[in-house]
Structure 1
Amino acid sequence: GQDKNQKERKLIYRTLGKTGIRVPVIGMGILSSGSPALMRVALDAGITHFDSTAGQTQIHNEEMIGEVLKGVPRESVIFGTKIHLLQDYKTGLYTKAATEDDFLKKLDMALKRLKMDYVDIVYHHMVSRRESAFHEPVMKAMEKAKKAGKARFLGITTHSNIPEVVHAAADSGFYEVVMASYNNRQKNHKLVKEAIAKAADRGLGVVAIKVIRGDWKKDEIPVNPSASLKWVLQDSNVHATIPAFSNFEEMDMDLSVMEDLKLT
């Protein structure tokens, strides 16, 4: 039956740099699905790496995740959440409102909704400037969260000025995982590739996002989503991806990439 096929899937694992975390190269970004059934099937298929965004728009998703994972041994899944603080959108720099306190409160609220004592990775979310990557209140908050056992590892995410931020993460000696938009339609994908290579070389875990949809507008579906995933995963400096599949067909297609990933 279907379950049997799910169980026998071929999974390809990589390690998120010096964190030592081993995950299948395809994880699940829970942004668009909000579906407990889909998350359960993903767990059954061997997906262990899940990722969400903390915040008002995602409250339902976080609570759903908490419910689904209730019966699952916590150490059997790798869970990341992203914390976003107010920035000046024109400059990408932080305002005075981006405080240490604000970061820690948001993390605590997310943990409560997720029914977790800790996340494996807490991300400093949506950074677009080198300067912002080193915003002291955020770094202090993250350090506190780690010391308090609320996060095992510290990460950073970037969707714009990607090479600049990935280089900053690699230079920081602070961030342990970097999550970056990476796809073959980026005009600067060669620069992104170089930055990612440096991050991986420095021991950071590398998670690629916006791999399939990339910069496509909502109503444009990429011609060949599997090819987009394969293109990114053929870069051995990418340790994981977290496609936000929103139905079973998409999930199936994404997972099947691991069946015949030509590794270079």
Structure 2
Amino acid sequence: MSSLRIETTKLGATDIDVSQVCLGTWAIGGWLWGGSDDSQCIATIRAALDQGITFIDTAAVYGFGHSESLVGQAWKGHVARDKVVLATKAGLQWSDDGKVTRNCTRERLLQEIDDSLQRLQTDYIDLYQIHWPDPLVPIEETAEVMAGLLASGKIRAIGVSNYNPEQMDRFRSVAPLHSVQPPYNLFERQIDADVRPYAQQHGLAILAYGAICRGLLSGKMTAEPTFEGDDIRQYDPKFKAPRYTAYLDAVAKLDAFAQERFQRGVLELAVRWVIDQGAIALWGARHPQQLDRVQQVFGWSLSEADRDEIAAIVNATITDPVGPEFMAPPARK
């Protein structure tokens, strides 16, 4: 049953309606998150749809196809195709030993679209995104392939992820562009200087990934977290001493601010902040209960004074900030 509390918006300059919270499914693929439970993951995707989250973002590389397959299994038979907006990403390749590199060649993209359609159990993808720019392939060539996919009807909208304004300008010289997906959260605000104003100037939707900063803004991280297997947070500088203590301190102060001002927690505050900055917030989850507080994000908003106070808390507490740069995959040799 869909909830009326979920706010919606248009996907950039398209006529595609999407929920302001998008389910992020990187962890659902298991890869770089210490594995996952398939039945729990399918239940999570269906719980999101039942809550009124109509927008699901995945990528071919998440679990090396596994995340897309689970998304396909989850929506099929649960909702009608026109009740879900499916976004996925292409342009990364992986080897048998799990090494990931960038590959935006025409051949790779044309293979990936067909593989993704099959795994997602659909004959079109609503939003198809280039995951990372490939320094070995001209951006114009990549854009030309995407324009062809749009014209063919295999995709309804084109997006890029991790592109800067100059790269988006080059892309837009050849093909329409409807969205950009950068890392963006209370702790990682680098796009305020360039990507966010560019997107707003050119009518692009901003899909903010890492809105909860890999769980750091969930309010549930402990002083000594344990990460299983290949969990990417083992390599995230934010989760290493002495920085981690400062980030946890900021989370505690933000939580106190949210409780006092809005009777909400830091999780809802973090997601609301992203939405009020003009972006769509990607909410990563792999257990249904991780979505229990989605409804609490809606029906209120942050004033400019609130946002100033939040920035003051973050800036005063975190004196040695670090960005999300560690996540960038390498180029091919």
The reply on whether 1:139 has 2:143 as its aligned counterpart is yes
Counterpart CA distance in 1 for 2:110 and 2:206 is 24
Given the superposition, is the C-alpha separation of residues 8 and 85 from structure 1 closer, same or farther in structure 2, using an over 3 Å criterion?
A: closer
Counterpart CA distance in 1 for 2:143 and 2:54 is 27
> How many positions carry a matched residue from both structures?
241
Given the superposition, is the C-alpha separation of residues 263 and 18 from structure 1 closer, same or farther in structure 2, using an over 3 Å criterion?
A: farther
Determine helix, strand or coil for the equivalent of 1:242.
strand
**Which residue pairs with 2:112 in the alignment?**
106
**Which residue pairs with 2:58 in the alignment?**
52
TM-score (norm 2): 0.64
Counterpart CA distance in 1 for 2:17 and 2:303 is 17
Which runs of no fewer than 5 residues in structure 1 stay unpaired? 1-5, 88-93
TM-score (norm 1): 0.79
Residue pair 1:169, 1:199 contacting (<8 A) in 2 also: no
Residue 8 of structure 1, CA deviation:
4.2
**Which residue pairs with 1:76 in the alignment?**
83
Residue pair 2:2, 2:49 contacting (<8 A) in 1 also: no
Given the superposition, is the C-alpha separation of residues 231 and 113 from structure 1 closer, same or farther in structure 2, using an over 3 Å criterion?
A: same
Once the two structures are superposed, residues 27-47 of structure 1 have per-residue CA deviations (whole angstroms, 9 ceiling, x without a partner) of 101121351111111111111
Residue 55 of structure 1, CA deviation:
3.1
The reply on whether 1:234 has 2:284 as its aligned counterpart is no
Q: Of the two, which has the highest radius of gyration?
A: 2
Residue pair 2:161, 2:181 contacting (<8 A) in 1 also: yes
Counterpart CA distance in 1 for 2:282 and 2:189 is 22
Counterpart CA distance in 1 for 2:74 and 2:48 is 11
**Which residue pairs with 2:35 in the alignment?**
none
Residue 32 of structure 1 is aligned with which of 10, 27, 30? 27
Which runs of no fewer than 5 residues in structure 2 stay unpaired? 29-37, 95-100, 217-231, 240-246, 252-265, 305-333
Given the superposition, is the C-alpha separation of residues 150 and 256 from structure 1 closer, same or farther in structure 2, using an over 3 Å criterion?
A: same
Once the two structures are superposed, residues 104-158 of structure 1 have per-residue CA deviations (whole angstroms, 9 ceiling, x without a partner) of 10111111111111100110112387x97x5233222212211221111111001
Residue pair 1:62, 1:110 contacting (<8 A) in 2 also: yes
Q: Which moved more, 1:78-87 or 1:114-123?
A: 78-87
Residue pair 1:28, 1:243 contacting (<8 A) in 2 also: yes
Residue pair 1:16, 1:22 contacting (<8 A) in 2 also: yes
